[in-house]
A and B are shown apart, each in its own frame.
Chain A
Amino acid sequence: MPEVSDPKRDQRDDTEVFSIGTILVKMRAVSREEVRRVLEEQSKMSSDELLGELLVRRGIITEAQLEVALDAQRGLRSRKPHVRALAAADLASRASSGVRNLTARVGEAISDSRRKRTGEAYPAVTALLLAEKKDA
């Protein structure tokens, strides 16, 4: 197959490099803060241990998560457009799933606050309070 080269894209790909830390953050496997902390530790260390390996050794991520991130990195850095596109789509799907989970947590927190505010969370106490109010 002929190589269709887009100079604009090639130039952009040279600058847009996905580091393993960035990918892991986008996968919601780690927080930016955790990556920053481990990077600081890495710079102080004398060994050549890589960021991903350190994150696994610290128990912040699992080896399986690191494998997924490394696969995504290989895909995103690929010269083949369809491989790059599929890797980006996979990462987008993981990022969206993280947002969906967080949305559910926010929803739960809001309903919990509402239940506590209206007394729904403590039906027995609320009934007593209402009875006391009636008597008074």
Chain B
Amino acid sequence: MDALFTGLLKSGAPWGILCAALLAAVVALWRRSVQLSDKLYDLATSQVKQSAEVHGTLTNALKELEELRRCLK
């Protein structure tokens, strides 16, 4: 990839420089999309973990409420 980029630039031709610029832009966009995907993955997995914790707490609360209801009967 780097060799292609350097080759295009070194060609000195306008189309070569244009292609090199386009290639650089595409690579930058691809890298950014990978970074954002990784960030989304991290956020989503952390959300799954948090949901599991909240779910556990709520399940316990529900059990305690059921217990309380039985005691009040």
Contacts and interface: CB of A to CB of B under 8 A. Distances in A.
A complexed with B: yes
Interface of A: 1-2, 4, 6, 9, 25-26, 28, 81-82, 84-86, 88-89, 91-92, 95-96, 98-99, 102-103, 105-106, 109-110, 112-113, 116-117
Interface size class of B (residues with CB under 8 A): 20 to 34
B10 interface: no
A113 B37 CA distance: 45
A14 B68 CA distance: 46
Given A81-B41, A99-B58, A109 B66 contact: yes
3 tightest Cβ-Cβ pairs between the two chains A and B: A88-B44, A95-B51, A81-B37
Given A4-B30, A82-B37, A96-B47, 4 more contacts: A81-B33, A88-B40, A89-B40, A95-B48
Interface in B1-38: 1, 26-27, 30-31, 33-34, 36-38
A91 B40 contact: no
Contacts of B72: 113, 116-117
A4 B34 contact: yes
A88 B38 CA distance: 10
B56 to A, nearest CB: 10
Given A2-B27, A113-B68, A85 B58 contact: no
A91 B65 contact: no
Contact of A85 (B30, B37, B68): B37
Contacts of B65: 106, 109-110, 113
Given A6-B38, A84-B37, A105-B62, A98 B48 contact: no
A110 B72 CA distance: 13
